[in-house]
């Protein structure tokens, strides 16, 4: 990487956040040739690009995070990224919001850029926790159940904010589409976006919103997909005419 030999050397990381689409992209200033770069899915919503180091570890050279704003946690980090990049990335994402723009076009124009200097050694990726993959059939079943849940929610009367309801329906539809095509990978960005849409103004009780939030969290764990699928279907049934929602 441009002649750097020490993990204490500083290297630039360029980041760009696009509020329309909620996408964060980053690249590490390096001279690693394309043939030595490896692109890997951390999950269905996160891609990292890395290069092998002399000691066999992996050096981050680029990344792309979908649903970046939704994945910024209460500690102002984006957990999919190394800590050295996570905090400045979260600050960049938090500094810009589509809520402040008059139109979609102005939001596009305000895509935010940032460059930070990070210790080379702080860009080493963790090899200890390989991504958990589930069965593609289980992911498909869960995707279909979330899609059916969205259709049930769309048919419910009540609610005081139709825009918020539509936001949740869109988030559930995107989650379903992602699970269907992710080859068994979880989609924590899509579930985070859906959880962020579970707010007041929906045609759901407080208890139902709590249950839906729990189901969306369970969907992040492939080993629980079969149980989650069963619970999502039961939840949708309870919301249907004649279900507990209507009693």
Q: Which domain holds residue 48?
A: 10-125
Total structural domains within the chain: 2
- What's the DSSP call for residue 72? B
167 and 213: one domain?
yes
Pairing of strands 46-52, 124-125: unpaired
Residue that is last in its domain, among 90, 125, 160 = 125
**C-alpha span between 26 and 39 (Å, rounded):** 13
- Mean local confidence (pLDDT), 28-49: 90
Q: How far is CA 56 from CA 29, 47, 125, in A?
A: 20, 20, 11
Tell me: pLDDT of 145 over 80: yes
Percentage of the chain surpassing pLDDT 90? 56
195 and 141: one domain?
yes
Tell me: pLDDT of 167 over 70: yes
Tokens coding 211: 């249950």
Residue that is last in its domain, among 75, 93, 125 = 125
Tell me: pLDDT of 126 over 60: yes
- Where do runs of H (alpha helix) occur along 156-205? 162-181, 188-196
Of 71, 70, 219, nearest in space to 144 by CA: 219
Q: Phi and psi for 208 in degrees, rounded to 5? A: -70, -35
Tokens coding 107: 């939001």
């Amino acid at each position: 990487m441009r002649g750097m030999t020490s993990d204490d050397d500083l290297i630039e990381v360029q980041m760009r956040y696009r509020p329309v689409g909620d996408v964060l992209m980053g690249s590490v200033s390096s001279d690693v040739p394309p043939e030595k770069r490896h692109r890997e899915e951390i999950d269905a919503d996160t891609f990292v690009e890395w290069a092998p180091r002399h000691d066999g570890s992996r050096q981050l050279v680029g990344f792309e995070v979908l649903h970046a704003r939704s994945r910024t946690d209460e500690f102002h980090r984006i957990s999919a990224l190394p800590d050295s990049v996570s905090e400045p990335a979260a600050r960049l994402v938090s500094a810009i919001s589509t809520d402040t723009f008059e139109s979609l076009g102005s939001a596009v124009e305000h895509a935010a850029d940032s460059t930070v200097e990070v210790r080379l050694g702080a860009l080493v990726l963790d090899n200890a926790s390989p991504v958990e993959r589930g069965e593609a059939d289980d992911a498909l079943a869960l995707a279909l159940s979330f899609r059916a849940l969205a259709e049930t929610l769309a048919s419910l009367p009540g609610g005081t904010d139709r825009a918020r309801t539509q936001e949740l329906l869109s988030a559930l539809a995107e989650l379903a589409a992602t699970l269907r095509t992710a080859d068994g990978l979880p989609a924590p960005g899509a579930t985070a976006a859906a959880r962020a849409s579970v707010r007041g103004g929906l045609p759901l009780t407080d208890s139902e919103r709590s249950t839906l939030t729990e189901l969306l969290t369970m969907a992040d764990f492939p080993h629980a997909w079969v149980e989650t699928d069963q619970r999502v279907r039961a939840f949708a049934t309870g919301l249907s005419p004649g279900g507990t929602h209507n009693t």
